[in-house]
Amino acid sequence: MPSEALRRAAFGDLADPDPALLAAPRAAGDRLLAAIVLGGQGRYAAAAALLGPLAHVADPVLASLALSTFASHRRQLGGHAAAFGPDGAALRLVAGRSGAGDADGLDVQGARTDALLGLAADNLGTGRLTVAHRLLARAEPVSWRSRVRLGWVTAEVMLAGGRGHEAVPPAETALEIATAAGARRHITKSQLVLAAALGATGDRERAMHLVDDAFAVSEKFALSSLSWPAGLLAADMRPSASEEYRSRVDATLHAVLRRSDPVGRRLAHESPWLPG
């Protein structure tokens, strides 16, 4: 079983774990959780070093979760097309399997849902909204984490299709579930997704409150994967302070790219999703 401290760091209230906790995890489950935390911090090269070997372990569920996590990190760097391969492999590993449940979705059902939602996000990022909708319909989330992620991707697909009002309910649900679970990183991302949805509907006042909170938390706990999207949202919603926010985004992205592997850096530089 993965250590409780690493579970709290990946899925709970331990937003600023001791670096020693992430330095040399031995058990395979602990390496997965450490990689998830490292990705949240924007330390993609360190995360990839842990995830690469895990993708080839004998346990198909663990290998699937590792592949989905790696794909998620590629998307965070703007590499949606590059995420197709690992997401597809993750889904194949758990197709037709069953097994015991896990509170955080580190199980067969959670791995299957992660892969389907990852593929939906990949298709969204490459402009295939119809396929993304079909993949969302196939997802059957059980754990709190899977339900939060379903809310994120559903809201993002709705926003991409110009359906801002339809993006609000799944984003609201994601924030409610993440808050009930006490999952700091998931709360912060849910705030950003909901802020984007509210901004699209014209409710900029509440959206800005959510962005302010998410930006403050992401910077306080060095959640670099979230602080730069928060900064971009803040820049769009506060034009008078846009230059300041974008300067902070540039600094964060520069640090993130320095801690990414060469392929990740190339994907980021080529991606239309990341600011130049």
Q: What is the pLDDT of residue 2?
A: 57
Axis crossing angle, helix 60-76 with helix 108-125, rounded to the nearest 10: 30
| Domain-embedded: residue 246 | yes
For residue 13, is it within any domain? no
Query: Can you spell out the DSSP letters for 30-93?
Result: HHHHHHHHHHHTT-HHHHHHHHHHHTTSS-HHHHHHHHHHHHHHHHHTT-HHHHHHHHHHHHHH
> For position 15, what pLDDT does the model report?
82
- pLDDT lower than 50: segments of the chain: 1
What pLDDT does 123 receive?
98
User: Which pLDDT value is given to residue 3?
Assistant: 85
Residue 14 lies in a domain: no
| Residue 187 belongs to domain spanning | 155-257
Listed residue (185, 197, 194) closest to 222, CA to CA = 185
d(CA 208, CA 204): 6
CATH code of 221's domain? 1.25.40.10
The pLDDT of residue 81 is 97
Domain for residue 35, yes or no?
no
Residue 129 lies in a domain: no
Q: Does residue 145 belong to any structural domain of this protein?
A: no
Q: Where are the alpha helices (DSSP H) in the chain?
A: 4-11, 19-23, 28-40, 44-54, 60-76, 80-94, 108-125, 129-138, 144-160, 164-181, 184-201, 204-220, 224-237, 242-258, 262-270
Residue in this structure with the two tokens 């559903």, named with its chain if needed: 154
Task: Please tell me the total count of domains within the chain.
Answer: 1
In a domain, 198, yes or no: yes
For residue 206, is it within any domain?
yes
